[in-house]
Chains A and B, each alone.
Chain A
Amino acid sequence: MSATGLKTWSALSDRRKRPTEYELVTHGLHYRTRNPDAPYELDPNLFMNLWYKTHVNAAKLQHDDWDDFRDPDAVIYRTYTALQDTNEGYVDTLLDEHDRAGYDAGLSAEWVAALARLYTPARYALHTLQMSSAYLAQMAPGSTMTNCAVFQEADAFRWLCRTAYRTCELRKRFPQAGFGAERAVWEEDAAWQGVRELMERTLVAYDWDEHLVALTLVAKPAIDEACVRQLGAAARASGDSLLAMLHDAQWRDVERARRWTSALMHYACTRDGNAAIIDAFLAKWVPLGERAIAAYCAALPGRPDAAATAIAATRAFRSELGFTH
């Protein structure tokens, strides 16, 4: 060690600038990238080692330094909890105010039926997004990527909980309207079968690169555009301003997810050949995503343009990143 000693952790000392709090607590944390033959230590033939070698180390998408990716929002646990404390406080107040005002009594029977079919079953879709984000967090070969996926997982859980809360409120107010039967709707109603197929296939896309593309560029944008934005617009048009406002709040999380996804895709594509690899995955997954949007949006009351609008939005997101599908 020199006379002056190290100014920071050695892993960050060659970067010629003082590391930020974000870098200190996010960068280079994965021990699983140290030994390519035994990512999880011990016997190289242990199940988890073989899994990681097959689905990450041998993946098509490669980069010389995944750890150099940075979340543009630089979210860390401290800032995430502070941010979502504010956001959850807002949602608490929205729900309390509407409950005290007897809000649900003013909803039309037609819209209540639409909520039982198109809104409350979304907790299953949100849970699939949560599980898929967790898989990405577990597999990603860089800890700055893992952090983004972990907070996306938390976002999904956040809205899953709020959806469950509203389901309970609606079931108490409308005991005969079918609330509480969400699993059957999720598994059998035509509106959800595209989303269910999309997410079940995403969850078994074990190669981390394909999972990343399927989740962040197809599945999540499809669900966000159809089940959040278009449902929110239908809610607003049907007089359900509470759901519209909840979805406006949810959209803040969607925007943050798109910022890190965009930054990661730009970063991945700095290596020659990666854009073509991602595009090849997209060619396979985009039709599934668009089928999911079409089936769901076809059931939205009074929104004949919903599917076209949602599909166009997902295409615009990918096109702005330079992808062709």
Chain B
Amino acid sequence: MSDFESTGGAFAGPVLRSGEVADAVVEAVREDNAEREIIIEEHASYVRVKVAGECIVRRETVERMLGRPFEMREIEINMPAFAGHIRTSTDAFRFVIGTGG
């Protein structure tokens, strides 16, 4: 049983291919969602980021962590799945728990 299910689907966030982008997003998520419970699951080739209720990934924070300009579509091509519903813009991705599914 996944944590997603055992917690009643209360976590939202991206699944990212391991690497530079994933590392930066994880650090950015820790900073921008500091008030929420965060679980980072490290797997062989991917990282599952789980934030209670809602997870926000801000471009500005990821850029600071990477130390270079960053476009949100770099997350798109490194994200094979995610939990929750996604709201995208050029400056942030927001993953929220929804009623779908």
In the complex, A321 has a CB within 8 A of chain B: no
Give chain A residues whose Cβ lies under 8 Å from the Cβ of B9: 236
Which of the candidate stretches B31-39, B50-58, B64-72, B75-83 sits at the interface with the other chain? B75-83
Give chain A residues whose Cβ lies under 8 Å from the Cβ of B5: 236-237, 239, 241, 244
Q: Which of A81-102 contact B (CB under 8 A)?
A: 82-83, 86-87, 89-93, 96-97
Give the B interface residue count (CB, 8 A).
20
Closest to B101 in A: A233
Q: How far is the CA of A248 from the CA of B2 in the complex (A)?
A: 13
Give chain B residues whose Cβ lies under 8 Å from the Cβ of A237: 5
Q: Which of A225-243 contact B (CB under 8 A)?
A: 229, 232-233, 236-237, 239, 241
Is A93's CB under 8 angstroms from B45's CB?
A: yes
Q: How far is the CA of A241 from the CA of B4 in the complex (A)?
A: 9
With A90-B15, A241-B1, A245-B2 already in contact, the answer to whether A82 and B81 are too (CB < 8 A) is: no
Given contacts A241-B2, A241-B5, A248-B81, 13 further A-B contacts (CB under 8 A): A86-B17, A89-B80, A93-B43, A93-B45, A97-B43, A229-B101, A236-B9, A241-B4, A244-B4, A249-B15, A249-B80, A251-B81, A252-B81
6 closest Cβ contacts across the A-B interface? A90-B80, A241-B2, A87-B80, A249-B81, A248-B81, A93-B45
Q: Which positions in B face A, CB cutoff 8 Å?
A: 1-2, 4-5, 9, 15, 17, 43-46, 77-83, 100-101
